[in-house]
């Protein structure tokens, strides 16, 4: 899979578009283009006016949008292959000082989960890479490096801290034991190791026993929490007064960062919360797209 059509279904699409309160001349920054679901709708609302800047750290996501969506939409659009933690650089390069609207839809897309070949899913036997970047340089971290070289204590801390996995110590111990015999190279090898480390009853829980470890490794590889904190600060800095910032998060760690950042701004008196409680998908949306179930949308307006 490379530039084929996206299989990603946008989460909370109507709620995001409503929350952004788009005006025709807006300059909009979509920090996480993914399958281009939000982007298409934003462009359609601007109807050929305004400007849209679309960032994604995955080159393939942008290539897919460029090939499949661009020919169909009328939009003054700039696609930039950058992490949103560097949104200031992207805007500087375009000569844009302030934007009117920003949206971040965090985590990975279904295209990455199901078709990237980069080891995001414990249901597919793939190399343990887990990086959102398509082309990795020598200095970029990958999941194989973490499980094969990090000390047991650090591994356990990450699996606990970013995965909230209660068997983190046992899993870290089993990883270190296994790698002495053979380098851990694939997702299925890691799943087998986790299976050996956790108690039997844990294997039959509704949530797959490898979910939390995989989440923790992905967050670590991509420094997702660090990027989010930096992206929020830089985004708010480049947002004009009256501008809106919408963020969709998918797990409690992200949600905590977004909630406390917005709460702090409100305390300072620099924003109002458009929704006091996070907006969550309707039961119809969850039925149609089960992956939407943990989505939470928060929107603020700069004052
Ligand atoms: C959930 S998908 C976005 C889906 C999109 N809103 C849509 O409607 O199709 C998340 C996308 O954001 C990208 N991404 C995640 N974190 C990022 C970051 N810090 N900077 C830039 N892109 C990021 C991922 O590569 C992925 O393509």
Mean pLDDT value of segment 252-268: 97
The alpha carbon of 55 and the centre of ligand 1 are apart by a number of angstroms equal to 8
**Position 4 in a domain:** no
Q: What CATH number is attached to the domain comprising 174? A: 1.10.150.170
For the full predicted model, state whether its pTM sits above 0.85.
Answer: yes
227 CB near ligand 1 (under 6 Å)? yes
Q: How many domains does the chain have?
A: 2
Looking at the structure, tell me whether residues 106 and 232 fall in a common domain. Answer: yes
Ligand 1 pocket member 8 (CB < 6 A): yes
Find out whether 185 and 134 touch, Cβ atoms under 8 Å: no
The answer on 243 and 99 residing in a single domain is yes
Q: Which helix (H) or strand (E) holds 157?
A: helix 152-163
Examine the domain organization and report whether 183 and 214 are in the same domain: yes
Domain boundary among 189, 221, 253: 221
Q: How many CB atoms lie within 10 A of CB 137?
A: 6
- 191-219 per-position pLDDT tens digit: 999 999 999 999 999 999 999 999 999 99
On whether residue 23 sits in a domain, the answer given is yes
DSSP single-letter state for residue 248: E
**Does 99 share its domain with 240?**
yes
271-291 confidence digits (pLDDT tens)? 999 999 999 999 999 999 999
| 7 part of a folded domain | no
Q: Of the candidates 221, 242, 272, which is a domain's last residue?
A: 221
Give DSSP secondary structure letters for 36-79.
SHHHHHHHHHHTT-SEEEEE-S-HHHHHHHHHHTGGG----EEE
Question: 229 with 96, same domain?
Answer: yes
Tell me the per-residue pLDDT of 37-65, one tens digit each, with 9 for 90 and over: 999 999 999 999 999 999 999 999 999 99
The pLDDT of residue 2 is 56
Q: Is 118 inside a domain boundary?
A: no
Q: What is the pLDDT of residues 113-148, one digit of tens each?
A: 998 899 999 999 999 999 998 888 888 999 999 999
Looking at the structure, do residues 246 and 295 belong to the same domain, yes or no? yes
Residue 6 lies in a domain: no
Distance 34 CA to ligand 1 centre (A): 5
CATH of the domain at 235: 3.40.50.150
The residue segments making up the domain with residue 201 are 134-221
User: How much of the chain exceeds pLDDT 70, in percent?
Assistant: 99
Examine the domain organization and report whether 140 and 207 are in the same domain: yes
Q: Are 53 and 78 in contact (CB under 8 A)?
A: yes
**In which band, very low, low, confident or very high, does the pLDDT at 1 lie, cut at 50, 70 and 90?**
very low
Residue 288 lies in a domain: yes
Q: Is 37 in the pocket of ligand 1 (CB under 6 A)?
A: yes
pLDDT tens for each residue of 220-257: 999 999 999 999 999 999 999 999 999 999 999 999 99
The CB of 35 under 6 Å from ligand 1? The reply is yes
Contact present, 4 and 65 (Cβ < 8 Å): no
| CA–centroid distance for 227 within its chain | 10
> Does 174 have pLDDT greater than 70?
yes
**Distance in angstroms between the alpha carbons of the first and the last residue of the chain:** 44
Instruction: Please tell me the residue having the least CA distance from ligand 1 atom 10.
Output: 108
**Residues 144 and 213 reside in one and the same domain:** yes
In this prediction, residue 168 has a pLDDT band, given cuts at 50, 70 and 90, of very high
103 located within any domain: yes
Domain boundary among 193, 221, 249: 221
Q: Whose C-alpha lies nearest to ligand 1, atom 13?
A: 32
What is the DSSP code (8-state) at residue 139?
A: T
User: Are 211 and 228 in the same domain?
Assistant: no
108 ligand 1 Cβ < 6 A: yes
What pLDDT score was predicted for residue 83?
A: 97
For residue 142 and ligand 1, the question of a CB distance below 6 A is answered with no
Please check whether residue 129 lies inside any domain of the structure: no
């Amino acid at each position: 899979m490379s530039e084929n059509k996206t299989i990603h279904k946008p989460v909370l699409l109507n709620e995001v578009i409503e929350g952004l309160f788009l005006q025709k001349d807006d300059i909009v920054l979509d920090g996480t283009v993914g399958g281009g679901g939000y982007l298409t709708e934003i462009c359609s609302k601007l109807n050929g006016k305004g400007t849209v800047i679309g960032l994604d750290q995955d080159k393939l996501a942008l290539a897919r949008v460029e090939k499949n969506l661009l020919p169909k939409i009328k939009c003054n659009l700039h696609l930039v292959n950058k992490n949103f933690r560097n949104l200031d650089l992207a805007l500087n390069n375009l000569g844009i000082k302030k934007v009117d609207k920003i949206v971040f839809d965090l985590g990975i897309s279904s295209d990455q989960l199901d078709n990237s070949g980069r080891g995001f899913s414990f249901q597919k036997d793939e190399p343990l890479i887990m990086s959102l970047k398509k082309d990795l340089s020598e200095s970029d971290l990958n999941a194989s490096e973490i499980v094969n070289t990090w000390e047991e204590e650090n591994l356990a801390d990450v699996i606990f801290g970013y995965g909230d996995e209660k068997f983190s110590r046992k899993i870290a111990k089993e990883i270190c034991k296994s790698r002495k015999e053979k380098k851990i190279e694939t997702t299925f090898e890691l799943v087998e190791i986790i299976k050996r480390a956790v108690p039997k009853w844990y294997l039959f829980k509704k949530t797959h026993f490898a979910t939390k470890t995989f989440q923790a490794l992905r967050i670590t590889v991509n420094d997702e929490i660090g990027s989010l904190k930096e992206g929020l600060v830089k985004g708010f800095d480049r947002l004009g007064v009256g501008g809106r910032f919408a963020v969709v998060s998918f797990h409690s760690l992200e949600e905590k960062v977004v909630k406390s950042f917005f709460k702090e701004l409100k305390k300072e008196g620099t924003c109002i919360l458009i929704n006091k409680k996070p907006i969550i998908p309707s039961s119809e949306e969850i039925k149609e797209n089960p992956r939407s179930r943990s989505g939470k949308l928060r929107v603020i307006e700069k004052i």
